[in-house]
């Protein structure tokens, strides 16, 4: 990088040691470059004022000059609000505050000329401006389009408020000419209408118009996302080249026989597409590491089965790992049944497999008699040795740690291929980024003939009617889940709720007509399994549970899912829970029970659940509500250190950036063309300390 830009910030005119110290501590600005990348978070168009009379035509942020002519408080407690009547030459509008009323009230002055900045909102046919920004009127001859920087209290107190930061940036921009290296080749800039880097840096800090600000933002967002995607693709390539994998060249007669004669139903197009991707992976000579996303009920098991048949047909063994014993057992039973007519030995291994049964099982795994092993974590133990394991399928990945997966690698000379299946949909643009170094397949279609689940949102007050409805369903022979939240922080309270609920249900659904199961985290695992099994076998009609049932049990006869305190669950969890019903031929229902008072976010979650059954659509809403950090947990948060792009809002730019990055790597795999010099230098900076980079080819 060029020397000018890495100059320490204290050398900038107007900074000095004391301010420099604060800039470093408070907002992480150490160098000129850091200051240039401290982008404004919005702009104020100081070049003009709006008038109150024209507000109806303006659908955005407005700046108005005027006076407050009266201040009123109304409401009590949480409904308390403050209203100020604000007037200019053309009319009057209300400014309103719902929070901090008394504090704001003391800072408002009546009859003094001020300017306000905010977004007019229509409430019951009347316009007002909630929570406006208030400042003294700018000096005449205003400053045009002005950037607004975020600051901190301590910075403010030394004069480094947004204005102070703006001044420093201006000083720096004046010296900038010729110092900004262009990173993107001209042809690429032309094709995608990107302005130069130097121009973008000027315009982002000091645009002459909204359009200039937009073009600057677009260029910088693109650049940021482009290099992120490029890095991910390069890393993936490096990993791929390093990891040799078993080559599975033929389709094999086993696969063909099953596919032609015994497959229980026509595969959906999505299943076919994914299977093709897997088949291709198995024959590259590299190690497959593929994530398979598919909504609950989309038929991932069949894809897993066919993939395993491919591996077996090539002379390898295959394993399927499920997160719980019940799931492992269910997979074992359904797969054994489907493979009945074929000559394939399938075995089950879980924590409760008896020692006596293990001895021959271990032996048959080692001598290759068993071709397919289905089980739980028990399968990872070092005593479990295979003759020639070629493929491992992991169902419901989020219950599996990376370390556990790594133990799988050692089960053969080369690491067996890995297929991870998850029913938690991740929005495409996020998957592209967070799993940018994995391959992702998506089953985006449900098998035909499913009756969509009907989802309803009910308030606690209608519980009696709910019980009536459950009785009708049970009378038809169906089974019901009732799920309670159990969150660690309020474990005791939640536990009490669950127990109270269980008692109320047992009272309303008395023996001998009704039998109720209960499963929660405080039970011993044998007891849990026992209760679950009673429900699976239809011996109980109601299953009261905490979220332990979240993962994958299949009880086609269960047609109602009641979720208590649904406002406390996240969208993806609600969707997962709902996926437990709708597995049989009958109409199924999901009933979301909530308290009467709901926050805006909770309301949106309930509405989304009622509106759609599409997991990917739900994931998109979840992303908007929670942001990418919360959605994926913190472990990948390094990738979220984005300066200007926003993964939940800039999806289109993510897609575009990835396409461009792919194309560059295809046309210039080692990134050596003179035109790509800028790209190379930035990328090698990003990959510094990674010796393998030199070897990409």
Which of 52, 168, 296, 384 is in the footprint of ligand ADP by CB under 6 A?
296
536 CB contacts (<8 Å, ≥6 apart)?
Answer: 326, 553, 555
The minimum distance between CB 580 and Mg ion, in angstroms, equals 11
Show the tokens assigned to 82.
């403050």
Nearer to ligand ADP, 287 or 331 (CB): 331
Which of 128, 206, 293, 301 is in the footprint of ligand ADP by CB under 6 A?
301
Nearer to Mg ion, 66 or 552 (CB): 552
Nearer to ligand ADP, 479 or 648 (CB): 479
- Cα–Cα nearest to 521, from 493, 489, 487, 479: 487
- Cα–Cα nearest to 326, from 523, 525, 480, 532: 532
Residue 305 interacting partner from ligand ADP, Mg ion, none (CB closer than 5 to 8 Å by kind): none
The minimum distance between CB 278 and Mg ion, in angstroms, equals 16
Contact between 297 and ligand ADP per CB under 6 A? yes
E runs forming strands in 460-551: 479-483, 516-519, 542-545
Which of 118, 185, 207, 299 is in the footprint of ligand ADP by CB under 6 A?
299
Give the rounded distance of the alpha carbon of 163 from its chain centre. Answer: 36
**d(C-alpha 120, C-alpha 94), whole Å:** 10
Hey, which residues between 431 and 460 contact ligand ADP (CB under 6 A)? 447
Contact between 517 and ligand ADP per CB under 6 A? no
Place of tokens 């490029």: 230
Which of 302, 348, 426, 486 is in the footprint of ligand ADP by CB under 6 A?
302
Residue 433 interacting partner from ligand ADP, Mg ion, none (CB closer than 5 to 8 Å by kind): none
The minimum distance between CB 277 and Mg ion, in angstroms, equals 19
**d(C-alpha 627, C-alpha 621), whole Å:** 10
Nearer to Mg ion, 282 or 322 (CB): 322
The minimum distance between CB 298 and ligand ADP, in angstroms, equals 4
The minimum distance between CB 395 and Mg ion, in angstroms, equals 6
The SS3 assignment for 147 reads strand
Hey, which residues between 539 and 598 contact Mg ion (CB under 5 A)? 552
**d(C-alpha 98, C-alpha 107), whole Å:** 15
Contact between 561 and ligand ADP per CB under 6 A? no
**d(C-alpha 611, C-alpha 600), whole Å:** 16
Q: Phi and psi dihedrals of 369, rounded to 5? A: -65, -40
- Cα–Cα nearest to 456, from 585, 617, 566, 601: 566
Region of 18-26, 266-274, 355-363, 616-624 interacting with ligand ADP (CB under 6 A)? 266-274
Show the tokens assigned to 26.
């408070």
The minimum distance between CB 441 and ligand ADP, in angstroms, equals 12
DSSP string covering 83-130, please? EEEEEETTEEEEEEESSSHHHHHHH--TT--EEEEE--EEETTEEEEE
How far CA 661 is from CA of 82, 182, 291, 501, 675, in Å, comes to 52, 17, 21, 54, 14
Contact between 263 and ligand ADP per CB under 6 A? no
Residue 296 interacting partner from ligand ADP, Mg ion, none (CB closer than 5 to 8 Å by kind): ligand ADP
Nearer to Mg ion, 185 or 552 (CB): 552
The minimum distance between CB 659 and ligand ADP, in angstroms, equals 29
Q: Which residue is nearest to ligand ADP (CB)?
A: 299
The minimum distance between CB 267 and Mg ion, in angstroms, equals 16
Contact between 584 and ligand ADP per CB under 6 A? no
**d(C-alpha 234, C-alpha 593), whole Å:** 48
Residue 425 interacting partner from ligand ADP, Mg ion, none (CB closer than 5 to 8 Å by kind): none
Contact between 298 and ligand ADP per CB under 6 A? yes
DSSP string covering 453-474, please? PEEEEEEGGGHHHHHHHHHHHH
Which of 248, 318, 320, 423 is in the footprint of ligand ADP by CB under 6 A?
423
Helices (H), 537-676: 571-578, 600-611, 615-632, 651-667
Contact between 427 and ligand ADP per CB under 6 A? no
Nearer to Mg ion, 552 or 628 (CB): 552
**CA dihedral of residues 429, 434, 437, 438 (deg, nearest 10):** -80
**Count, residues near Mg ion per rule CB under 5 A:** 1
Nearer to Mg ion, 421 or 671 (CB): 421
Nearer to ligand ADP, 206 or 301 (CB): 301
Residue 386 parent element (H or E):
none
Contact between 265 and ligand ADP per CB under 6 A? yes
Contact between 268 and ligand ADP per CB under 6 A? yes
Region of 139-147, 289-297, 495-503, 678-686 interacting with ligand ADP (CB under 6 A)? 289-297
Give long-range contacts, CB 8 A cutoff, 24+ apart: 612-616.
613/452, 613/453, 613/455, 613/578, 614/295, 615/295, 615/296, 615/423, 615/425, 615/575, 616/295, 616/425, 616/427, 616/428, 616/444
Region of 33-41, 96-104, 280-288, 300-308 interacting with ligand ADP (CB under 6 A)? 300-308
Q: Using an 8 Å Cβ cutoff, are 329 and 477 in contact?
A: no
**Burial of 678: CB neighbours in 10 Å, binned 0-12, 13-18, 19+:** middle
Residue 268 interacting partner from Mg ion, ligand ADP, none (CB closer than 5 to 8 Å by kind): ligand ADP
Nearer to ligand ADP, 302 or 320 (CB): 302
Residue 132 interacting partner from Mg ion, ligand ADP, none (CB closer than 5 to 8 Å by kind): none
Nearer to ligand ADP, 162 or 268 (CB): 268
DSSP state of 377: G
Nearer to Mg ion, 151 or 554 (CB): 554
- Contacts to Mg ion by CB under 5 A: 552
Contact footprint for ligand ADP (CB under 6 A): 265-268, 271, 294, 296-302, 423, 447
């Amino acid at each position: 990088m060029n020397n000018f830009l890495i100059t320490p910030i204290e050398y900038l005119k107007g900074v000095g040691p004391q301010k420099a110290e604060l800039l470093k501590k408070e907002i992480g600005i150490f160098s000129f470059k850091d200051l240039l990348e401290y982008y404004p978070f919005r702009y104020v168009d100081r070049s003009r004022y709006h008038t109150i009379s024209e507000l109806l035509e303006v659908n955005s942020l407005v700046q108005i000059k005027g006076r407050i002519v009266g201040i009123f408080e109304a409401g009590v407690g949480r409904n308390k609000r403050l209203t100020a009547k604000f007037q200019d030459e053309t009319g009057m509008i209300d400014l309103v505050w719902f929070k901090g009323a008394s504090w704001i009230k003391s800072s408002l002055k009546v009859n003094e000329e001020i300017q306000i900045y905010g977004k007019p909102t229509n409430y019951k046919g009347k316009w007002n401006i909630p929570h406006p920004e208030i400042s003294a009127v700018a000096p005449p001859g205003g400053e045009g389009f002005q950037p607004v920087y975020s600051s901190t209290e301590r910075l403010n107190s030394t004069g480094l408020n947004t204005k102070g930061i703006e001044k420093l940036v201006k000083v720096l921009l004046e010296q900038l000419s010729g110092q900004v290296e262009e990173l993107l080749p001209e042809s690429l800039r032309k094709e995608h209408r990107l302005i130069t880097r130097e121009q973008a840096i000027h315009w982002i800090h000091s645009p002459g118009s909204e359009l200039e600000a937009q073009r600057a933002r677009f260029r910088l967002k693109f650049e940021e996302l482009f290099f992120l995607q490029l890095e991910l693709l390069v890393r993936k390539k490096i990993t791929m080249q390093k990891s040799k994998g078993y080559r599975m060249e033929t389709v094999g007669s086993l696969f063909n026989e099953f596919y032609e004669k015994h497959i229980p139903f026509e595969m959906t197009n999505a299943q076919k597409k994914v299977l093709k991707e897997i088949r291709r992976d198995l024959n590259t000579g590299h190690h497959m590491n593929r994530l398979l996303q598919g909504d609950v009920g989309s038929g991932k098991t069949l894809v897993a089965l066919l993939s395993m048949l491919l591996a077996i047909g090539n002379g390898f063994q295959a394993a399927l790992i499920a997160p719980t014993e019940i799931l492992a057992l269910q997979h074992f039973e359904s797969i054994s049944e489907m493979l009945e007519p074929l000559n394939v030995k399938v075995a089950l291994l879980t924590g409760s497999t008896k020692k006596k049964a293990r001895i021959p099982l271990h032996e048959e795994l080692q001598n290759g008699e068993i071709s397919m092993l289905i089980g739980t974590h028990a399968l990872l133990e070092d005593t479990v040795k295979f003759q020639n394991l070629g493929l491992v399928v992991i169902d419901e990945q989020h219950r599996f740690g990376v370390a556990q997966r790594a133990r799988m690698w050692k089960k053969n000379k080369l690491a067996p291929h890995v297929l991870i299946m998850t029913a938690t949909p991740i929005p495409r643009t996020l998957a592209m980024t967070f799993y940018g170094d994995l391959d992702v397949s998506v089953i985006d279609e449900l098998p035909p003939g499913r009756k969509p689940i009907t989802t309803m949102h009910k308030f606690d007050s209608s519980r009696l009617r709910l019980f009536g409805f459950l009785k009708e369903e049970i009378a038809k022979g169906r089974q019901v889940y009732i799920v309670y939240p159990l969150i660690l922080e309020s474990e005791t309270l939640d536990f009490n709720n669950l127990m109270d609920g269980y008692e109320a249900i047992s009272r309303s659904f008395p023996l001998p007509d009704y039998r109720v199961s209960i499963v929660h985290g405080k039970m011993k695992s044998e007891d849990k399994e026992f209760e679950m099994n009673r429900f699976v076998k239809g011996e109980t009609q109601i299953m009261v549970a905490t979220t332990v049932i979240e993962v994958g049990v299949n009880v086609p006869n269960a047609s109602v899912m009641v979720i208590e305190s649904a406002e406390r669950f996240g969208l993806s969890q609600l969707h997962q829970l709902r996926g437990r019903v709708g597995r049989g031929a009958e109409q199924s229902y999901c009933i979301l029970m909530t308290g009467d008072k709901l926050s805006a976010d909770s309301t949106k979650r309930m509405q989304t659940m009622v509106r759609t059954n599409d997991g990917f659509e739900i994931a998109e809403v979840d992303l908007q509500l929670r942001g990418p950090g919360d959605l994926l947990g913190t472990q990948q948060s390094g990738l979220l250190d984005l300066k200007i792009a926003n993964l939940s809002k800039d999806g289109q730019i993510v897609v575009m950036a990835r396409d461009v990055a792919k194309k560059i790597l295809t046309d210039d795999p080692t990134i050596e063309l003179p035109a790509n010099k800028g790209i190379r230098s930035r990328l090698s900076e990003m990959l510094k300390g990674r010796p393998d980079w030199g070897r990409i080819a």
